[in-house]
Structure formats: C-alpha cells, structure tokens
Amino acid sequence: MKRPILLFFAILLFNYACKESNTSNDKIESDIFITEKVKKRIDSTLKSFVDEGKVAGISTLIYEKGKEVLYTQHGYADREDSLPMNRNTIVRIYSMTKPIVGTALMTLYDKGAFKLDDPLEKYAPEFANMQVYAGYDSINKKVLLEPLKRPITIRDLTRYTAGFEGPMPGVPRLRGKDNPTDKENTLQEMAEKMSKQPLAFQPGTRWAYGVSVDVQAFLIERISGIPFEQYLRENVLDPLGMDETRYYIPEEDRDRFAATYNYNRETKELTRAPDTLTQILNYYKWPLNRGALGLTSTLDDYQKFAQMLINGGTLNGVTILKPETVKLMRTNQLDDSITERMWLPDRGQMGFGINFGVRVAPPIDENENNGVVGEFFWDGAFSTLFIGDPVNDMTVVMFVQLSPYDQIKLHNTFRDAIYGNYVPEPK
C-alpha cells in the first residue's frame, strides 16, 4: 500500500513543480519586450524599404536586458559591387559622433576638471567678450552687434544653447581655411576663427544645432592637455573595445566601408553618391577631427557605447562615467523659457540632455515618432539612429547610408515596428 501512496504524492509534487515552472516562464516571457512577433515586424519593415528601392541596404542590432535579441540585415552596403550589408559593415555615423564626444567631455567632469556652469572663457579666453548678432541695417548695409548679456557656459555647449549656430543676414559664410571647421584647420585654429565671428543669438535663449560639439572637442584638448583624438581613444573608445570607431579608415578595412545613396522622392530613384565626396573625410588624416561629425563605426561598436549608457556608465566591468553623470546626461537640460528650438520638435515630444535628445512626453498622434518617456537617442545625417530605452532596458542601433536625411519616414516607420502602432493616451 505504501508504494501507490508514495507514487500519488510524487505525481502531485511533480505537477505542482511544473505549474510553478510554467508560471515562472510565463512571467519571464511577459517581461520580454522584443517578442518573436516584434522581431518579425521589425525584420519585415526593414526588408520593405530595400524591396521598394528606397534604401540599398539596412541593418539593426537590438539588445534587451544586456543581451542581443535581434540582428537583422537586408540589401547591400555596396549595391554596384554586390557587397551585402552586415554587422561588420563600416558606416559614416555623422552626428552620432556627438554623444561619443560628449561622453569624453563628461569624463573630465567626473574628474572634477570643470563644472557645467563654468564660463567657457575660464578655460578658453579666446571666447571672452564675443559680439552677438542684433540685426541687419539693410539701408546702410551694416550688421548690428551687441555685447554678451552673460558668458557662454559649458552647459550651453552641451545643450546647444551657446549661440554659435544660425544664419545671420549680412554675415558672410566663410569658405576654405577661413571657415573655422575646414578640414585643414587645427582645433586651435578653429577656435580662434570661431571666436572672431558674431554669435547668432544670446547664450541660453535658443536651441540651435551645429558646431557646439566642435567647441567641446577643443575644450577636451585644452583642459586635458592631450590631443583630442588621443583623449577620445584612451578614455572612451579603447576602454569600451570600440576598435572600429574611427575618423580615419586604414586601407585594409576600406572594402567594408558602405557606399552612400541618394533617394529622390519625386522620381523614386535611388542613386549612388560620388565616392569622391563621401569618402574624402575618412580616407585621409586631416588636421581637424571634428566633435560634431566624422566618426565611422560598426553596429557592434556603437552598440557597446549604447550599452554603456543604458548601464549607467559601465560595460563589462569597465567604468567610463559615474552613474549620476549618465543620469545627468539623460536628463532634459532645456527649461521652458527656451521656446525657439530649431527642428528639435520634429523629433517628437523632446527635450535635450547632454549631446542627445530625451523624450519628455508620449507622442501626441500617429504622425509623431513613437517611443517611451525617458528615452534618449540621436541620429546622423545619413539617416543612422540609436535609441536608449531605460523603461524596457533596451538599446537599438540602426545603420543605413541614405541621403538626404530620412526623406522616406524611415525612422518613424521603424519606431512603429518596435513599439507598435500609436495608442492615444487615456483622457
């Protein structure tokens, strides 16, 4: 009699264990954001852009909770030579250079080398006593200038409110080496020439995109006493193992460098941009390595950078920034008084942290870029994109080489593939 009773209780115990196991698995599955359904949706969405001839090649790499959950690629890095797009493809990340350079600057902040509200002129006297554009007298053909109402701060540089950017009637656009950001200038020459030009607006009054991160690169060099590219390499790129994130691409790696394509919305034609234009920046060692643009990278390299940020400044036991510094970078730095924000509102309900956008409210309709509050992100001129999503512990890197910048609503559609169709907020 004992054996049947023991067998009965063993079966009960087994069934209970299975139930607990299934409940646990169900819970784990419910916590996963990038489900199999979402993976298929992302993959088919990216494939459709290639199939429709809007891009030559496209790839994405997504991590969730510190693990790779999706890698997908379609089309060609070089359509004419039938070279497929893959995770080793090197692309021009353009303005996705900015968050990396901002991170390098903030390593100096962590070391106590400066405070965000320090005036720029404390470290770079070149920028003291700058003049500010105040209008144009068309009758006398004279540019009107006024003095600074307050100094430019380092915080202004990191949130793009310094005043450097913006067209000014009557102020000519400088060409060649007279242009501060010409490739033949050094960072020192860039700073000297830039400081002699009027600011477009008073510091802290507007958000405007442009050369603020170039000044950050100069500031890194000035404060650290180390050449900018060397400091970037030693304090950010090398510690993270970002060996293929570079300004200059050596000859042995150029067969992996993606071509760039232009899409014409009217004719619906995709044509290759001349290599002589798109490769010149990265095939030569120029005196000027800009903070605002110029780096090239691979999916895995940039994903390391994104993972470091989502982890609060650390990756694989290597600490780049303090957690509180990363939190500061991911916090909106624009107060409500800064109402003029160039094209930033086009990205959605966005504020701006330190060298990247931060989402401060849900999308207001289905036409707006999808995402979650607390997201930080940035993109590049050739339509590349990275997203850090702290809510879902997720990082997304999407690479493509498409010009002009996202004329095909790629980012909007891609975000819908990740997050699903827009759902109105309950009233």
User: 127-153, pLDDT tens digit by residue?
Assistant: 999 999 999 999 999 999 999 999 999
CA distance to 75, 83, 87, 255, 257, per residue, from 78 (Å): 9, 5, 14, 9, 8
The span from the first CA to the last CA of the chain, in angstroms, equals: 65
Is a pLDDT exceeding 90 seen at residue 9? no
Query: Mean pLDDT in the chain?
Result: 92
Q: How confident is the model at residue 25 (pLDDT cuts 50, 70, 90)?
A: very low
Interacting residues of 28 by C-beta distance below 8 A, sequence separation 6+: none
122 DSSP assignment: G
Distance separating alpha carbons of residues 27 and 365, to the nearest angstrom: 31
Q: Which domains does the chain have, with CATH numbers?
A: 34-94+227-419 (3.40.710.10), 108-224 (1.20.58)
Distance separating alpha carbons of residues 285 and 27, to the nearest angstrom: 53
- What is the tens place of the pLDDT at every residue in 84-117? 999 999 999 999 999 999 999 999 999 999 999 9
Cis (ω within 30 of 0) for the bond into 424? no
Single-letter amino acid code for the residue at 305? F
Instruction: Tell which residue, 404, 419, 288, 279, has the closest CA to residue 363.
Output: 419
Is a pLDDT exceeding 60 seen at residue 6? no
Average pLDDT over residues 14-35: 50
Q: What is the pTM of this model?
A: 0.91
3-state SS, residue 45? helix
3-state SS, residue 261? strand
CA 200 to chain centre: 25
Percent of the chain with pLDDT over 90: 85
Distance separating alpha carbons of residues 105 and 102, to the nearest angstrom: 5
Other CB atoms within 10 Å distance of the CB of residue 88: 12
Single-letter amino acid code for the residue at 308? M
Is a pLDDT exceeding 90 seen at residue 319? yes
Q: How confident is the model at residue 174 (pLDDT cuts 50, 70, 90)?
A: confident
Distance separating alpha carbons of residues 121 and 113, to the nearest angstrom: 14
Distance separating alpha carbons of residues 236 and 315, to the nearest angstrom: 11
Is a pLDDT exceeding 80 seen at residue 219? yes
